[in-house]
Amino acid sequence: MSAARTAILDRVRAAQRTALIPGASDAGRVLSDPARSAAEPGAGRVLLDPAKLLAKFLAELTALGVDSYVEFSAADVRERLRAIVGGKSVLAWGAGELPYDAGSVTADAAIGASARDVQAAAEIGVTGCDAAIAETGSLVVLSGPGKPRTASLLPPIHACIVRRDDLQPSMGEFFARRADAIAAAACCTFITGPSRTADIELTLTLGVHGPGKVIVIVGP
């Protein structure tokens, strides 16, 4: 181990003895109180009602400027996707990773193994997701085989297919319920609406690096 490491840790240990951290012991107590740490402060009670999860999720998507479609069969999801994709070139997750059979819609799609410039030229990205967060309208994507991160990042449009069962009330709930899956993935990404910036005069501008348009299809 490096000399810098030892020196830094020694300095930090010495500093901790004199550090003036207000309420630090208090902070420890609060967090170790199981009742307090289990409850997620600020999470809306309404989200504990599964019937309302979907409504909340859709409302958040609308507020973010995301188009959403709710379909009632796998075939309807596929036809909706076909209409959205139209004649555009596709970069998609592997067929086995998409929640429903997309059939011919993604048959000719670029995938994670395709050359970088082919992926970068795609006009629409088609992915599934590992969870969707009702409270914020977020799509959660865990990295893994058959799931190129580029599909939700490089194309100007991202179409994401969500299974209704994958809806989670909040980020905190997702962290708690899916801890093992999160720990097994190299990267976990929360996508909440289209890429945006407000750097120039605080004027909202979409699609600066990631997709400027996000479309969500919720399946059965």
Contact status: 89 vs other proteins (CB under 8 A)? no
Considering the rule CB under 8 A, would residue 87 count as an interface residue with other proteins? no
| String marking each residue 41-80 x if it binds other proteins according to CB under 8 A | xxxxx-----------------------------------
- Please identify which residue in 69, 109, 196, 215 interacts with other proteins, judged by CB under 8 A: 196
Instruction: Quote the CA–CA distance of 162 and 167 in Å, as a whole number.
Output: 8
| By CB under 8 A, residue 118 contacts other proteins | no
DSSP single-letter state for residue 213: E
Q: Least distance from C-beta 212 to other proteins, angstroms? A: 9
Phi, psi dihedrals of residue 58, rounded to the nearest 5°: -65, -40
Report if residue 115 touches other proteins, rule: CB under 8 A.
no
Sheet holding 157-163, edge to edge: 67-70, 213-219, 157-163, 124-127, 90-92
Q: How far apart are CA 73 and CA 82, in angstroms?
A: 14
CB of 86 to other proteins, least distance (A): 22
Binder of other proteins out of 99, 128, 210, 219 (CB under 8 A): 210
# binding residues, other proteins (CB under 8 A): 84
Q: Which of 26, 34, 86, 108 binds other proteins (CB under 8 A)?
A: 26
Q: Counting beta carbons within 10 angstroms of the beta carbon of residue 23, is it exposed (0 to 12), middle (13 to 18) or buried (19 or more)? A: exposed
Site string for other proteins, 132-161 (x = CB under 8 A): ---xx-x----xxxxxxxx--x--------
Q: What angle do CA 67, 71, 72 make, to 5 degrees?
A: 165
| Member of 18, 96, 104, 115 binding other proteins (CB under 8 A) | 18
Place of tokens 């490096």: 2
Residues 172-191 that bind other proteins (CB under 8 A): 172, 175-176, 179, 182-191
Count of C-beta atoms within a 10 Å radius of residue 149:
15
